[in-house]
Amino acid sequence: MKKLIFVILSFVLAGGMICSRPQYSILQTYGTKCSSCHINVQGGGIRTIGGWLSRKDFSLINPEWIGLKKFFETLTARNSYLDDKIIVGFDVRAQSARWPKGPSSSERDYMLMQASPYLAIQPVQWVLFEGFYNIAYELENDKRYPAQQPYSFSVYLKPSENLPTLRIGYFQPPIGQKWDDHTMFVRTAVARYGRHYIVPDDYAEWGAQIDYESIPWLSLSAGAFTGKKLSIINVPDKNGKPISIVKDNSIAIATRGMFSPPEFIKGLNSYFGGSFYFNDDYYISSAFLGIGLPDRVSLIGEYVRTQKKDSRLSLSFTAELTYQLIESVLPFIRAERSILKDKNENNPVYATNLVFGSHINLLPSVDLLIEYRILDREHLEGYFSQWAIQLHLFY
Amino acid sequence: MDEKINKTTQTRREFLRYSGSFFISGIVIATVYPILTSCEKDESLPPPPPGSAINLNLNDHPELNQIPSIKKLNFQKPITLSIIIKRISKNEFVVFSALCPHQGVELEVPPNPDGNLRCPKHLVEFSTNLTTPGVVVVNPQGVKVGNLSTYHHEFDSTKNILTIRLS
């Protein structure tokens, strides 16, 4: 009963961002809100008990076949302690992929992308503390992204069930959908040589946010955040000189709304929404959609537009189709398009990306992601293609 | 006795099944991986033809008539090229590649012509001084990066044309 109360409370406490794997919100029957699976209002990060239960047993290989039944039974026995007042978890991602090596070549390299232990503490019903620290941030210093942060933490305050939640701390503003791939065009548009970082991986700022989740089909978020960390990103002004995308002592406002309509057609899951982040003369707008049939197929899409006045405009679009072959094997195809226009340049930068891949839950809490990527930047001759393999341990 | 034989047979069969599975998996991984990686390729910046050069009429780039001054130029024709030109004095220039030697990211031109060129990805800075052109002077994340390459050039002050030798 206590677990049920905690799951419901977590559902209500956490806000409305989409999950870090938005396709799961369509493919499962727990509901399309991110808070179905994650405590963090940003999506991703520490999982609720419900979220942890939902994926912990999926496995292509029966642990019994390889003599690891006891090990996985012990490992996946629980993720909460002290009457569910403490929840733990982690994400570890290691990847083999090609990395740029100089201006026109790349070489295969191995990278520990993420090693983030999570902790959530709920001493009393109306207060919940959560946070993580990414150990890989310190280990992989040449594979960091501008404005990426090594940690995030916040406190949720919810005095009553029908009132909005107040979240205060150092965390990511609510912008669009949260995906588990930070190279996607809706997060980093393609520049002539390099990327324009829209929402860097693990981006976080000091801020306060209000989330309203009391209506089952509606999620609303609004918050105010500092711009200090994002200010490290420069864009060229109309004369080609670099200017900070936002001022370091500025305040940004971020709003987001998401609708999870009841079933229009029997068995069809769907959601749609949008977000708007603005800081003086820079804004990020996003519109997103997810639709599909539980346990069968999902189609997720997002459109993101950013503009810095008299400087840079970017348009990015992503659509991903996932088919559930079996519960532990999820092949997918993703198409992306990015257009970037600088005020000081006559020629916009056009890029297209195609990704074919599959998530394979080899063992409980072990996901193997295999991808083949084709990136075409139209101003360069030919195209870039590579295989990427990622091992993801999650808990 | 029969039960003991059955158990032994079952154990042997299990052993063969498991060891066979691992053996086949090992062969598949060992052969599939090189096949997969063989169909990878890079986009290319075609190398300039031998002896090629760009003649830049500075009358078309009035910013570079000031001293000191600095400007980034992107060319699509005759070849794809991104360079940064710094004018130090009336007849002295330095021409840099505009791409970071670390991961090929386009460098930022400093607001002050005497400032450093900065890579926006890892915040490495390269000197634009005539005595130390392209030398790494700031590397906050300690990434492995070499100095920035420069291009040979000649300046014809009578015609106000800067000739940049590409190879």
Q: Which of B74, B136, B141 to mutate to test the interface with A (most CBs of A within 10 A)?
A: B74
pLDDT of residue B20: 75
Q: Please say if the pLDDT value at position A30 is more than 90.
A: no
In angstroms, the CA B131 to CA B148 distance is 14
Task: Determine the distance from the C-alpha atom of residue A265 to the mean position of all C-alpha atoms in its chain, rounded to a whole number.
Answer: 28
Same domain, B21 and B99: no
- Closest by CA to A293, choosing from A319, A263, A250, is A263
Q: Which long-range contacts (CB under 8 A, 24 or more apart) does A329-332 make?
A: A329/A60, A329/A358, A329/A359, A329/A360, A329/A361, A330/A23, A330/A27, A330/A358, A330/A359, A330/A360, A331/A356, A331/A357, A331/A358, A332/A23, A332/A356, A332/A357, A332/A358, A332/A359
Which of B37, B40, B83 should one mutate to test binding to chain A, selecting the residue with the greatest count of A CBs within 10 A? B40
Nearest to B103 by CA among B85, B118, B122: B122
Q: Which band of pLDDT confidence, cut at 50, 70 and 90, is reported for residue B93?
A: very high
Q: Which residues of B touch A (CB under 8 A)?
A: 18, 36-37, 39-46, 63, 71-72, 74, 76, 80, 82, 97-106, 108-111, 118, 120-123, 141-144
How many structural domains does chain A have? 1
Q: Could you report the per-residue pLDDT of B119-149, keeping only the tens digit for each? A: 999 999 999 998 999 999 999 988 889 999 9
Give me the pLDDT at residue A349, please.
Answer: 94
CATH number at residue B116: 2.102.10.10
Q: How distant is the Cα of B40 from the closest Cα of chain A, in angstroms? A: 5
> Does A192 sit within 8 Å of B104, measured CB to CB?
no
Give the strands of the sheet with B136-138, arranged side by side: B117-118, B125-126, B136-138
Q: Are residues B83 and B124 in the same domain?
A: yes
The single-letter DSSP state of residue A377 is E
Task: State residue A267 phi and psi, 5-degree precision.
Answer: 90, 0
**Apex A11 CA angle, A265 and A158, nearest 5:** 135
Distance of CA A62 to the CA centre of its chain: 29
The answer to whether residue B140 is domain-embedded is yes
Q: Mean per-residue pLDDT for A313-318?
A: 97
Clarify whether residues B12 and B89 are in a common domain.
no
- pLDDT computed for residue A65 by the predictor: 86
If one compares A14 and A133, the residue with the highest pLDDT of the two is A133
Task: Please count the structural domains in chain B.
Answer: 2
For A223-273, how does the pLDDT look when each residue is reduced to its tens digit (9 = 90+)?
999 999 999 999 999 988 899 999 999 999 999 999 888 777 778 888 899
Which of A98, A192, A345 lies at the smallest CB-CB distance from B40? A98
Residue among A106, A141, A242 minimizing CB distance to B143? A141
Residue of A nearest to B109 (CA): A241
| B59 and B10 together in one domain | no
- Give the span between the Cα atoms of A325 and A361, in whole angstroms: 12
Task: Of A274, A272, A276, A247, give the one whose Cα is nearest residue A261.
Answer: A272
Taking residues B52-61, what's their average pLDDT? 89
The whole-number pLDDT of residue A18 equals 36
The answer to whether the Cβ–Cβ distance between A191 and B106 falls below 8 Å is: yes
The residues with which A275 forms a beta bridge, in sequence order, are A256, A286
Domain assignment present for B78: yes
Judging contacts by C-beta atoms under 8 Å, the chain B residues touching residue A368 are none
Q: Say if the Cβ atoms of A103 and B36 lie within 8 Å.
A: no
Higher pLDDT, B7 or A389: A389
Which chain A residues are within 8 Å of B101, Cβ to Cβ? 102-103
- Asked whether residue B46 is assigned to any structural domain, the reply reads no
Residue of A nearest to B140 (CA): A141
Q: Is residue B48 part of a domain?
A: no
Same domain? For B22 and B57 the reply is: no
Report the pLDDT averaged over residues A311-326.
96
**B31 and B59 together in one domain:** no
Asked if residue A246 lies in contact with residue A230, where contact means CB atoms within 8 angstroms, the answer is: yes
Average pLDDT over residues A5-12: 36
Q: What is the mean pLDDT of residues A204-228?
A: 93
Please list every residue in chain A whose beta carbon sits closer than 8 Å to the beta carbon of residue B126.
none
Half-sphere exposure at residue A229, Cβ-oriented, CA atoms within 13 angstroms:
25
Tell me, what CATH number does A320's domain have? 2.40.160.10
Name the DSSP class of A101.
Answer: -
Whether B124 is in a domain gets the answer yes
Region A285-305 average pLDDT: 94
pLDDT at A10: 38
Statement to judge: residues B31 and B65 lie in one domain: no
Taking 50 as the threshold, does the pLDDT of residue A14 lie above it?
A: no
From chain B, the residues in CB contact with A100 under 8 A are 103-105
**Residues B70, B131: one domain?**
yes
pLDDT-derived band at A339 (thresholds 50, 70, 90) equals: very high
Query: Residues A76-116: pLDDT tens digits?
Result: 888 889 988 999 999 999 999 998 887 778 888 899 999 99
**Between chains, do B103 and A102 touch, taking CB under 8 Å as contact?**
yes
Q: Which residues in chain A have Cβ-Cβ distances shorter than 8 Å to B123?
A: 146, 232
Angle CA(A227)–CA(A229)–CA(A234) in degrees, nearest 5? Answer: 90
Q: Say if the Cβ atoms of A194 and B121 lie within 8 Å.
A: yes
Q: How far is A158 from chain B (nearest CA, A)?
A: 39
Nearest by CB: B39 against A382, A384, A385? A385
Q: Are B28 and B57 found together in one domain?
A: no
Mapped onto helix, strand or coil, the DSSP state of residue A241 is: coil
What value does the mean pLDDT of chain A take? 88
Q: Identify whether residues B144 and B75 lie together within a single domain.
A: yes
Nearest to A104 among B44, B118, B141 (CB): B44
Does one domain contain both B154 and B97?
A: yes
- The verdict on B96 and B132 lying in the same domain is yes
Whether residue A106 and residue B42 make contact (CB cut-off 8 A), yes or no, is: yes
What does the alpha-carbon distance between residue A211 and residue A39 come to, in Å, rounded to a whole number?
A: 13
B97 in a structural domain: yes
A-B CB pairs within 8 A amount to 114
B-chain residues near A234 (CB < 8 A): 108, 118, 120
Cβ-Cβ contacts under 8 Å, A141 against chain B: 141-143
What domain range is B73 assigned to? 53-165
| Tens-place pLDDT, residues B23-54 | 777 777 777 777 777 778 887 777 777 888 88
Percentage of chain A exceeding pLDDT 90: 57
Integer-rounded Cα Rg, in Å, for chain B is 29
Lowest mean pLDDT among A57-61, A260-264, A301-305: A260-264
Q: Which residues contact A273 (CB under 8 A, 6 or more apart)?
A: A16, A18, A219, A256, A257, A258, A259, A287, A288
pLDDT at A361 > cutoff 50:
yes
> CB B123 to CB A382 under 8 A?
no
Query: Nearest CA to CA, how far is A72 from chain B (Å)?
Result: 19
Is the predicted pLDDT of residue B118 greater than 60, yes or no? yes
Looking at residue A41, what is its pLDDT?
Answer: 62
Q: How far is A380 from chain B (nearest CA, A)?
A: 6
Q: Which domain holds residue A67?
A: 2-394
pLDDT of residue A278: 96
